[in-house]
Amino acid sequence: MSQWYYADARRERHGPVEADTLRDKFRRNELDLSTLVWREGMPQWQPLSAMAEELQLLVQADTGGGIDLRADYQAIEDGTAVAKASAAAAIAESPYAAPGSVTLDTNRVIASGDVVHAGFLRRLAASLVDSFVTGIITWILLIPIMLLMGVGLGTLADPENIASLGAMLGFQGLIYLVSFLVPCLYFGWMQSSTSMASLGKMVVGIKVVRGNGERASFWRNFLRYLAMMVFGMVTCYVGFLITAFMVAMTERKQGLHDMICDTLVVDKWAFTDHPQWQQRGLGTATIVILSIFGLLVVGGTIAMLALIGIASSKFS
């Protein structure tokens, strides 16, 4: 016999219980037609009214006992009861979903509860993925621009031609502009979406929010990345090391750009109804990404040393 789960008026889940138990609670007015129920095999939670026939909630008036639900059952047949119950459930913004299909409600911020801030290594892993993505997008845009401009390497290399020099400077400026704008737009768009995370952050299970847990706007995320890049370039890339140190050592794991823009990088379940699902460790995805990156660095270093050794042996 199927085991059932139900949500009470305070939206707390109960179960498993037998179908007879649900019927008894319904007849004692402990449950009503808008109560959300679920059993194995159902894709999502449903109001009790939608399962009335399966649970045999119809009680004939001439049985001498129970509750006469014929009027309600007629409403169930014509669909009005289901519509009302579904509307009530939507207004209540129930967090329940079938096991394995729980979704995040990004419009609802739960300020209380524990918050796991994303440390340096999880953010580094996310950054590696995002750098790969934005790099591909940047070159997808730059290559057609190069072809459309018809700028060849030979033309750009002619310093005596003023037009050539102007084209070279313009092209270099375009490269820097696209290289800056693509990541700014990418992070601004992705991190202001319902996921509040770039692709890299989605992979490692973290997100960017305001200091109070609310979703950050497009322009806040845009300026957040821009501030980090400007700080890094103005300080001749020392700023990136300072940012990494601040993320590793500060209480809320904030870099300077986070403090300027009032943002936090936290676990994806922070500020939600399920703070207990937050991941405190690195996680499998982070470990895999960092391991691949480490192998590439080691392999590249070995290959470079080998090439240097071969080149030096030829000239010795």
**Residue-wise pLDDT tens digits, 249-272:** 999 999 999 999 999 999 999 998
Reply yes or no on whether the pLDDT at 104 is more than 50.
yes
Helix (H) or strand (E) holding 146: helix 120-149
* Top mean-pLDDT range of 57-61, 150-154, 157-161, 263-267: 263-267
Question: Model confidence over 128-151: pLDDT tens digits?
Answer: 999 999 999 998 998 887 777 665
192 band by pLDDT with thresholds 50, 70 and 90: very high
- Long-range Cβ pairs for the range 150-156 (8 Å, 24+): none
Q: Is the pTM of this model over 0.95?
A: no
Question: Bridge-partner residues for 215, per DSSP?
Answer: 209
Q: Which residue has the higher pLDDT, 52 or 315?
A: 52
Using 50, 70 and 90 to split pLDDT, how confident is the model at 21? confident
Q: Strand 13-17's sheet: what is its strand order? A: 13-17, 4-7, 36-39, 46-47
* pLDDT on residue 293: 94
How confident is the model over 271-281, as pLDDT tens digits? 988 888 899 89
Tokens of 233: 């370039």
